[in-house]
Amino acid sequence: MSTLISCHDLARIYSGRTLFENLSLNINPQDRIGIIGSNGAGKSSLLRILAGIDEPDDGEWMRRKQLRIGFVEQDPRFAPGLTVTQVMDAASPAEDEREWQVRRATSLSRMGFVDLEQKVETLSGGWQKRLAIASALADQPDLLLLDEPTNHLDLEGILYLESMLKSCRFAFALVTHDRALLQAVANRVMEIDPRHPGGLLAVDGNYSQFLQRRQEILSARAKHEDSLANKVRREIEWLQRGPKARATKAQGRIDHAHALMAELAQMKGQKQGEAARVDLNATGRKSRRLISARGLGKQMGGRQLFSDLDLLLRPKMRLGLVGGNGSGKTTLLKVLAGELDPDQGTVKRVDQLKVVVFEQKRQVLDPTTSLRRCLAPDGDSVIFRDRSIHVVSWARRFGFRNDQLDAAASTLSGGEQARVAIARMMLQPADVLLLDEPTNDLDIATLDALEESLLDFPGAVVLVTHDRYLMDRVADLMLGLNGQGQATLVANIDQWEKMVREAGDGSSKKPETKAQKSRKSKARGLSYLEKREFEGIEQAIETAENRLSQAQSALADPAIATKAEALRERQQELDAAEAEVSELYDRWSQLDNKARDADS
C-alpha cells in the first residue's frame, strides 16, 4: 500500500525560534507511531502540520489522495451551548445520515457516554477529551493524530484508548509522555531532538526498544565527541606554537584545525534542552503523624464519594489515589488540605503543618506576562532554601534559555507552563505534598526528575496521576475510589486495573445474598489474636518511635563523627528502627481496615 504522508526537510519557526529544521519522515498504513521530545521541541507543531492545520515554514509534505485524517488536540475546545450529539454532528462528513447515526452512537457508546444531550461546558476535562476522541473515531480515519491523548483521562478511559489503539485497523501517530502507553501500542517511536541527524530519531519497535537503540547511538556520539575534543586540543596546542601559514602543508593543517573546532562547536550546540532539576522543598519536621483522618465522608452533587474513610499520613509515606473521573480524588485532596470540610468524620493536623497543593487546574499564566515575572514575580531573584538565586540561574534550572526570559507566557508550550508551576511549588517548604495531576504536558526527562524527587522527599505525598508508570514507581500504597462511596486499598496499579476491568464486566454477575454477605463479613473479621494485637499496637508504635528517636540522637553524637565503624553501626540501628515503625503503622492500618470491613 502507498505511503500515507511523506515529509521532506520540514522547518517550523515559532516566536522567532526554530523548533526544528531539515526534518523528514514517512507515515505508512501499518505505522503505530509514538512521538516524544523535550518540552518546546515542536511535537504539537509537527502534528498540526501533519493534520494540514498549519503550514511548515520550509520544506514540503505530500499526502495520499482522499486520505481521511482524524485529529485530537491536546486541549479540545467546543463551542458553548452545544450538546454531545451536536458536537459529533458538527464534525460529521456529508454522507448517508442513517449510517452516520450508527457510527456516532457506536463511537459515543464505546467512550462511555450515556447522556447524549449533556452540554459540553458541563463535561470535565477527561470527558471532553473522550468526546474529542469519539468524534475523530466516528469519522473512520485512515490516520489518527493524537496530541497528549491521556491528559485528563481516568484509568478506565486510558485502558479503553490503549485497547482501541492495539486493535485498530488505521495508522496513528500520538504525542505522549505516557511511557506505559508507548510500550503497549507503538511499533515505531520518534524523538524530536537537535542531537539527531535531521533533528529526528526514528526506531522501529516499542518504547523499551527505542530506549536501548537511543542509548547505543548517544554513547557512540559521546565517544566521537570526546575523540574530537582531544583532536581539537592537540590542534590548538600546535597552533599556539605559531606555524608558518605560508607553507601549503601548514595552511592545510590550519584549515583542518578550524574545521574540527567548528564540528565540535556544532555538536556542543546541539544539546537537547535540559530537563528540569526538581528538588522538592521539605521543612524537615520529625512528627510521625502529620495528618490523621477518621471516619471521613463527603457528598458532592447528591452522590456519596467516600464514607467511613480512615487515613494516616506520616513522613516518607507516598499514597496514590486512583479512580475514575468524578470518583472523588480531587475532593479528598481538598478535604485533607482543609479547603473543604468533610460531611462526616474528623481531620487532625499537626501544629503549624505546611501543606503544599499542586492543583490539576493550574493557575493560568497571564499570556502577556514575561517568563521572568512568572518565575520571579517580586524581583530578579527568588529565595530557595534560605538562599537567594538570580532568576537567570533559576530559569536555567528548569530548562529555560536566557532568550526566553523576556518572551510572553503565551509563547510557552504546555509542558513549559507545567515547569513554571513546578518551579513555584519548589519555593514552598512542605511537610505534606498534595499533587493533583502534576504530570500533564511534562516531557519524559522532566517526569524522570520529578519521580526521583518524590522518592527522595522526606515528608508525606498524596498523588493523583493518570501516569501509570509514575504511580507504580512512586506510590508505596494506593487507595482506589469507585465514586459510589467505597474506598479500597490496593498494592499496585495492576491490581487496580484488574478491579476496573472486572467492574466493567459486573453487569453479568449475580448480586450476593444476605447470607453470603454475612459469611464474607465474618471471614474478614479480626481473629482473637489479631484483636489482642490491635489493642496493643498503639503502645507498640509509641515504644518503637522512642527507639527511633534514640537512634537518631545516637547517630548525631559528635563523639563518633570521625569513627567510620561506629557510624556504620548506628546508621544500621537507625534504619532498623525506621523500618520497625513503618511496619507497625502498616500493620495498624491493615488491622483497622479489617475491623471496619467486618463492622460494615
Please tell me whether residues 203 and 300 are part of one structural domain.
Answer: no
Task: Extract the C-alpha cell encoding 360.
Answer: 490539576
Question: Given 184, 211, 238, which residue is the final one in a domain?
Answer: 211
pTM here is 0.70
In-domain check, residue 374: no
* pLDDT at residue 336, as a whole number: 95
Residues 471 and 557 in one domain: no
Using the 3D structure, point to which of 509, 542, 575 is the last residue of a domain. Answer: 509
Beta carbons within 10 angstroms of residue 505's beta carbon: 8
> Low-confidence residues of the chain, pLDDT below 70?
1, 91-95, 238, 242-258, 260-275, 361-365, 504-525, 528, 552, 555-558, 560-564, 567-568, 589, 593, 595-600
Residue among 74, 92, 77, 79 at smallest CA distance from 138: 92
430 and 493 part of one domain: yes
Question: Residue type at 155?
Answer: L
Reported as a single tens digit per residue, the pLDDT across 6-60 is: 999 999 998 778 889 999 999 999 999 999 998 888 999 999 999 999 999 999 9
Distance CA 449, CA 419 (A): 11
Q: How far does Cα 158 stand from its chain's mean position?
A: 14
**Is residue 518 assigned to a domain?**
no
Confirm whether 331 is domain-assigned.
yes
Does some domain include residue 283? no
User: Looking at residue 15, which CATH number applies to its domain?
Assistant: 3.40.50.300
Range of the domain at 183: 5-211
Asked whether residue 270 is assigned to any structural domain, the reply reads no
- DSSP H/E element including 455: helix 444-456
Residues 441 and 588 in one domain: no
314 with 196, same domain: the answer is: no
Please give the Cα distance from 228 to 226 (Å, whole number): 5
Q: Report pLDDT for 561.
A: 58
What is the C-alpha radius of gyration for the chain, rounded to an integer number of angstroms?
28
In a domain, 136, yes or no: yes
Q: What is the C-alpha to C-alpha distance for residues 165 and 144, in angstroms, rounded to an integer? A: 10
Based on the domain organization, do 172 and 121 belong to the same domain? yes
Cβ burial, residue 54 (10 Å; 0-12/13-18/19+): middle
Specify the number of domains making up the chain.
3
Which is it for the CA torsion 457, 307, 124, 502, positive or negative? positive
- Of the candidates 211, 233, 252, which is a domain's last residue? 211
192 and 327 together in one domain: no
pLDDT of 67: 93
CATH code at position 552:
1.10.287.380
Which stretches within 111-148 are classed as H helix? 125-138
Are residue 423 and residue 533 in the same domain, yes or no? no
Same domain for 156 and 37, yes or no, is yes
Does 487 share its domain with 583? no
Contact 69, 52 (CB under 8 A): yes
DSSP H/E element including 460: strand 460-464
* Shared-domain flag, residues 489 and 560: no
Indicate whether 321 belongs to any domain.
Answer: yes
Please check whether residues 461 and 594 belong to one and the same domain: no
In a domain, 391, yes or no: no
